[in-house]
Structure 1
Amino acid sequence: MQQTTYTMWGTHYSHCQLKLVDFKANENHISHETQGLSKEHLVVRRGKPFKLTLLFRSRSLDPCSEKLVLDVSIGHLSESFPVKFSDERSDPKSWSAKVYPGDIQPQSVTIHICSPVQSAVALYNLMVHIETIQNRSSYAVGTFVLLCNPWLKDDPVYMPLDAQIKEYVKSDYGLVFMGTHLNVRQRPWSFGQYEPGVLEACLALLQVSPQHLKNKDNDYSLRADPVYLSRVICAMVNCNDDLGILEGKWQGSYKDGIVPTEWSGSADILHQWVSSNYSPVRYGQCWVFAAVLCTVMRVLGIPSRVVTVFNAAHDGDGNLNIDEYYSSTGEKLNLNNNDSIWNFHVWVECWMRRPDLGAGFDGWQVVDPTPQERSAGGALPQVGIFCCGPCPVAAIQQRCLRAPYDTSFVYASVDADVIRMIVRNGLVVERMVDTECVGQLICTKRIGSDSPENLTLTYKSKNRGQPKAIQRHSASSDHQRLSEVTCVGSSLQSTPLVNGTARCQVVGEARGMSPGLEVSLRIDGVPSVGKSIAMCVTVKNQSSRPRVLLEHLNAQLKEYNSNPQESFWNTSNEVHIQPGEVLLLQHTILPSEYESVLAADDIVNMAVVIKDVRTKERALAMQEFNLRSLNITIEIKGGDSILIKTEHKAQVSFINKLSKTLNGVVLTVEGSGLLQGKQEARMISLQPDEKIEKTVSIMATSPGTKLLMATLSHSNSANMVSRSFHKVSVITA
């Protein structure tokens, strides 16, 4: 990378004149671990020296009579500093430049420039001044991008292990875990930080933020702090308050945009946002918001990973309890608009020190860009807008709910109590507590592997299920234990519903069972599309008398982030049980009973209510599960590592393993960075055990990890869509 044109000020005499500047891009990019991030700019990391060579017109610089001064600037902020021709120690808090022995050649000089470790992340302008006693000549020689430096111990984002940095900064490939904790499915994602234009899009995001547009110099001054950066970027990933990247949508038609499930990488989203003059890209949901945020943070040098919380609570009223209502026949009711439990929710953890809180809160921080609630704020700006975090994971585990930012909301997401109530004729006739459901599994992609790493105990103390002692924290005080929030629930007398919400008194603790009657519900195996769904209800009579029971079993389709829809299957039975007896009640839902309602990856809420006919006591058990999709095979001829700018063949196929014929079958193949547009294969009908296949030619123009995505749809069910992904590693020759 060379800068051969420049602007020059001053009168020229016989002194040294600058001809061009060699930015030594390849050498600097290797040294700074920034290879592939940009073809347009020199990209370096703060606190680490980088080189550039000045080439002169007729002779080299004479250090005795000529002085070199450099000037770096962002906005109206600038700093001038001399080039020193000695090895004297520089102030690490200031910009410095040195020329070492041997760096002066007949017509050139090589300069080693070092920024302070607490420098702003930005695109900098660089000027060179050549000064003598008589005059000064000034040259605008170009620009460079300065990023955070997780390799440098003094940087707030320093990460000690190279394997961690490789996974959480350099890797352009990741996994999003989805589904339910009983059937975790993985969805590959291409972060795409090495795709052309992605770095520039990330810098543009900072330049169009409300903070920058309001006060550029103040924004530049604060950009050295990863806490500030993460809040600005978090708010900018959603478009709710600004010129943000993504618009969220969770229901209704997606015809004026892209269905969130069709995204497989961040680069396409960032390119579309920039090319539309910063109009929001439609549409995203939690994993799309999180993956794009992870891309931006990795590009800027802040270690980040995508994390999934299974059974994540949305505690709208902030009381750390989620109320759920069921009918006396096991149907879940939509009576609570404030609270909900998402089967999975995806956010990002970013690695940084927290000098505002103390060393005990350094490390992973939750940053959640999905627009759910407005931020409670703290010492930094952006109070009352849609960003969440950075919230120390350590604060969640220690229950320090005043630690900024938004810790109480994040805490509820992983550790709220669920209060389930059975409602009959507008009255709550039974109530029970579940202290284990929320945050049952929290995981991320394991370093160097596609398997999940369980993070649950980093968020939750080992005494789960016990009354929650809540600590509140402020930066200026020690932890203070203020109160205890006890587990709630017990068998109650009938309690009226008021405005759709139960008006209940907290009176004690229960374990989700009627006295003397223990009930559980188990789904057998992993339910798959086209197969029967088998389940078992276990009933144990712990009393000393026989009982006559009524069993009500109910199944409802639900979205991962909302309450269920109407029931699509139910059954009722009378059951007789002896003292001390354990009954296993087997049930099956046939494909013909659900295929018009359920599709691949859909989630089902299954609940059973057991009622004692004589005492009217009731016990409730529930389970939610997702259907495994049909398998699509993707194979790269010659292996999954391909050469850049070389044509390769990929074969995509699907065999109908269902017992019925599929009509109007469409097999679609696409892949950002591998394939232009979409390619399709169609069949009028696909008999059982018959195959549909498509061979496509792929070619990658940039290195890194790319994804091929195959989608199968058919007219038997508009919802019955299956997707498969395949990872392709692109290498240079």
Structure 2
Amino acid sequence: MAFTEQTHIRAAAAASRCRLKFVNFEALENQNSHETAGLSKKHLVVRRGKPFTVTLLFCSRSFNPHTESLVLEVWLGNRSERIPVQFSDRHADTHSWSAKIYPGGARSQSVAVHICSPANSSVALYHLQLHIETNRGRWSYAVGDFVLLCNPWLKGDPVYMPLEAQLQEYIKSDHGLLYMGTYQNISARPWLFGQYEPGVLEACLKLLEVSPQHLKDKDKDYIRRADPAYLSRVICAMVNCNDDMGILAGKWQGSYEDGVKPTDWSGSADILQRWASSNCSPVRYGQCWVFASVLCTVMRVLGIPSRVVTVFNAAHDADGNVTIEEYYSSTGKKLNQSKDSIWNFHVWVECWMSRADLGVGFGGWQVVDPTPQEKSAGVFCCGPCPVVAVRHRYTRAPYDTTFIYASVDADVVRLILHEGKLVGRKLDTEAVGKLIYTKSVHSDAPENLTWLYKSSTRSKPGSSVVHTRAAIISAGSPAPSPSAPGEKPPGLEVSLSVDGQPSLGENISVCVTVTNRRSSPRLLMEHLNAQLKDFDSNPQRSFWKAQKEVRIQPGGVLTLQEAIRPSEYESVLAGDDIVNVAVVIKDVETEETVLDAQEFSISSPQITIEVRQHPGCSIKREHTAQVSFTNTLAKALTGAVLTVEGSGLLPGKQEARLVHLQPDKTIEKTVTIVATSAGTKLLMATFSHGSSPGVVSRSFCKVSVNAA
């Protein structure tokens, strides 16, 4: 390790003194011990509260502890702390900085010094100095730098996580799965978090250095970085660029020609490297899963256990009344007349930490959402919000608990309008937060987190939410409040369902069930309407409609079947597209009007990936992978493109193209993969064609790479 010497004595006295020749930061040993191997080739990376070793090599003669003293000094910004080096066989105290030489640690011309930081040290890049002091003066050396991270392996650290399997998943794993689609048709998409890719750790440190908090008051920011809640809030705001020099610009509509389409990203490293190398210019473009995945990468790098979480049917409560209003026409078309919305899926991050600012009972998983939706204390960020506070509806807990609670448990009121007048109303208390998923530990299966957010006992609509700390600390569920006076039961009831899982090229079967609660027959008008929609907004124009008159007997139940044929949707829908279908039933005589709606996604044909000699691939040995897609649709696909990529397996993206892919024909791509490092890698493939505005199909394959 290079260093510079600062002399503070006369030249005559320098001849016989102990001089520092070389410093060995013992990077391999320290980083293996601190679970930081691979995070940086530029800096020593260690975790707070755990000793690391620095070996000092002296010139000409050995260090003499009887006449000379060693003092280390750690610098963070303008603040420093002196650490006298002591001879001791006692373990380090994690409440303060210490530097010890254990018995046998001093040899002829070298000394092994064990340095330990407090368990609540700030996360940052530190500068280290060495002072050799005698009664004749002091000689100082600028030794070098090291990076200090949170330590979830240490019981005294606020981010301590006791289970090793969880630490491997939520800190060390550099890949994972994102869950998307609709709750009836969930698709898993691979993501490369990439915390071991070159420059990623340095980009995360740079992110902290250009935050508004740091630019305003560096010393105050450095001090507060000891708190993971503070870190998560700062980083959450910095992942989007709305208020600062943040990483990602969001875009949900229009052209993406001046950037990268959000669906084209497959990992965080590329995004972080682009941001850092462009002098902190925002990377275009991100949507919720991209924002969340980048945040998860940064938090894992800094040592805070994190996981990406998907909420299916997530409410965006713009007015803060914990109720989502949806408007429909009398023919079943969903209208864009509300600031509120329900996203088919929304992705955020959970970070693991104790909450010293809130006290006992609020620790554990905290929601941190970097997607710029609403401002929190004047800034586009959300959280950290304790999941336990959401479950028990303790909305006073900072930060943004009411907004998160509404996201997973708001009521939905569907209103039917005819010529501007309200003709029907339906309350749905179950639509929001249908499922909440994350990747399981050491498994590709989803883990259902819904029960962590939603209590089995739920207050009636309109009642006040719980505001007592005791409900959190005792982990008890609040009793439901008395029911409000009920409305007159409807004479008609209707429910709509979509049969099976709709796939491209097949009929979409819609089933409507009508129940007559009256003792007289009724003449009804049925209106059905289907609209394409984005996952995060209201539907677009209708692409299919149907209507007919039907009769129902007193107390009868009527089942009506409708089918949307491929010829009626193939020019509009692609794989993974989402459809809103609604039915409105109206009594022709009484004009009683009832509604039900359903949203579903379209499945696409699958891509096949076959890796020869898999499992059992080895580093730097060639292996062959064959990727193929068969057109199961009844029409030819123009401009077919099959793309294959894999970080650590392939250099860049490789493509196969066909001008026309005829029905029942296959497009193939054979690639040679050469793994550059050991571990689990992802080989990913996408298929698209010119007739579709987006990707039609995605697939991936895990490749286990052996070290030899």
- TM-score of the two chains, using structure 1 as the length reference: 0.92
Give CA deviations for 1:651-696 in whole Å, capped at 9, x if unaligned. Answer: 2111122223223322122333433333221222222222111112
SS state at 2:215 partner: helix
Cα displacement (A) at 1:107? 1.4
Indicate conservation of the 8 Å contact 1:402/1:474, yes or no.
no
Partner in structure 1 of residue 493 of structure 2: 518
Partner in structure 2 of residue 351 of structure 1: 352
Partner in structure 1 of residue 8 of structure 2: 10
Cα displacement (A) at 1:137? 1.4
| Superposition pairs of residues 515-664 of structure 1, within 5 angstroms | 515-640=490-615, 642-664=617-639
Q: Aligned partners of 2:80 and 2:51: how far apart in 1?
A: 19
Partner in structure 1 of residue 655 of structure 2: 680
Q: Aligned partners of 2:70 and 2:521: how far apart in 1?
A: 97
Q: Aligned partners of 2:515 and 2:197: how far apart in 1?
A: 59
Amino acid at match of 1:6: T
Distance 1:359 1:188, change over 3 A: same
Alignment of 1:25 with 2:31, yes or no, is no
Partner in structure 1 of residue 122 of structure 2: 120
Give CA deviations for 1:458-505 in whole Å, capped at 9, x if unaligned. Answer: 111102473454123689x999x9x999999xxxxxxxxxxxxxxxxx
Amino acid at match of 1:198: V
Q: Aligned partners of 1:509 and 1:253: how far apart in 2?
A: 48
Partner in structure 1 of residue 430 of structure 2: 436
Cα displacement (A) at 1:435? 0.6
Partner in structure 1 of residue 309 of structure 2: 307
Distance 1:514 1:676, change over 3 A: farther
705-714 or 33-42, larger mean C-alpha shift? 705-714
Q: Unaligned 5+ residue runs, structure 2?
A: none
Cα displacement (A) at 1:732? 2.8
Cα displacement (A) at 1:171? 0.8
Give CA deviations for 1:491-540 in whole Å, capped at 9, x if unaligned. Answer: xxxxxxxxxxxxxxxx8556xx9723221111111111111111211112
Indicate conservation of the 8 Å contact 1:514/1:618, yes or no.
no
Cα displacement (A) at 1:726? 2.8
| Superposition pairs of residues 370-385 of structure 1, within 5 angstroms | 370-375=371-376, 383-385=377-379
Cα displacement (A) at 1:94? 1.5
Amino acid at match of 1:96: S
Give CA deviations for 1:585-634 in whole Å, capped at 9, x if unaligned. Answer: 11111111001111111100010111111211111111000001221112
Indicate conservation of the 8 Å contact 1:487/1:509, yes or no.
no
| Superposition pairs of residues 206-217 of structure 1, within 5 angstroms | 206-217=208-219
Indicate conservation of the 8 Å contact 1:550/1:574, yes or no.
yes
Alignment of 1:423 with 2:417, yes or no, is yes
Amino acid at match of 2:343: W
Q: Percent identity?
A: 66
Partner in structure 2 of residue 86 of structure 1: 88
SS state at 1:471 partner: coil
Q: Aligned partners of 2:657 and 2:574: how far apart in 1?
A: 20
Cα displacement (A) at 1:35? 1.1
384-393 or 665-674, larger mean C-alpha shift? 665-674
598-607 or 703-712, larger mean C-alpha shift? 703-712
Distance 1:81 1:5, change over 3 A: closer
Partner residue of 1:186 out of 167, 185, 188: 188
Partner in structure 2 of residue 725 of structure 1: 700
Indicate conservation of the 8 Å contact 1:417/1:487, yes or no.
no
Amino acid at match of 2:594: A
SS state at 1:104 partner: coil
Indicate conservation of the 8 Å contact 1:325/1:335, yes or no.
yes
SS state at 1:359 partner: coil
Cα displacement (A) at 1:719? 4.3
Distance 1:298 1:405, change over 3 A: same
Amino acid at match of 1:421: L
Partner residue of 1:218 out of 199, 217, 220: 220
Indicate conservation of the 8 Å contact 1:469/1:484, yes or no.
no
Q: Aligned partners of 2:703 and 2:468: how far apart in 1?
A: 46
Indicate conservation of the 8 Å contact 1:435/1:487, yes or no.
no
SS state at 2:465 partner: strand
Q: Aligned partners of 1:647 and 1:59: how far apart in 2?
A: 53
Indicate conservation of the 8 Å contact 2:88/2:100, yes or no.
yes
Indicate conservation of the 8 Å contact 1:50/1:114, yes or no.
yes
Indicate conservation of the 8 Å contact 1:469/1:485, yes or no.
no
Indicate conservation of the 8 Å contact 1:470/1:485, yes or no.
no
Q: Unaligned 5+ residue runs, structure 1?
A: 376-382, 489-506
Corresponding pairs, count: 700
SS state at 2:42 partner: coil
Partner residue of 2:465 out of 470, 473, 476: 470
Alignment of 1:457 with 2:457, yes or no, is no
Partner in structure 2 of residue 322 of structure 1: 324
- TM-score of the two chains, using structure 2 as the length reference: 0.95
Cα displacement (A) at 1:566? 1.1
Distance 1:234 1:658, change over 3 A: same
Partner in structure 1 of residue 62 of structure 2: 60
Indicate conservation of the 8 Å contact 2:688/2:695, yes or no.
yes
Partner in structure 1 of residue 249 of structure 2: 247
Q: Aligned partners of 2:638 and 2:93: how far apart in 1?
A: 72
SS state at 1:389 partner: coil
Q: Which runs of 4+ in 1 moved over 6 A?
A: 483-488
237-246 or 460-469, larger mean C-alpha shift? 460-469
Cα displacement (A) at 1:23? 1.0
SS state at 2:384 partner: strand
Indicate conservation of the 8 Å contact 1:191/1:265, yes or no.
yes
Partner in structure 2 of residue 495 of structure 1: none
Give the root-mean-square deviation of aligned CA atoms: 2.2
Distance 1:671 1:395, change over 3 A: same
Partner residue of 1:228 out of 227, 230, 237: 230
Cα displacement (A) at 1:112? 0.8
Distance 1:447 1:255, change over 3 A: same
Alignment of 1:708 with 2:683, yes or no, is yes
Q: Aligned partners of 1:114 and 1:278: how far apart in 2?
A: 33
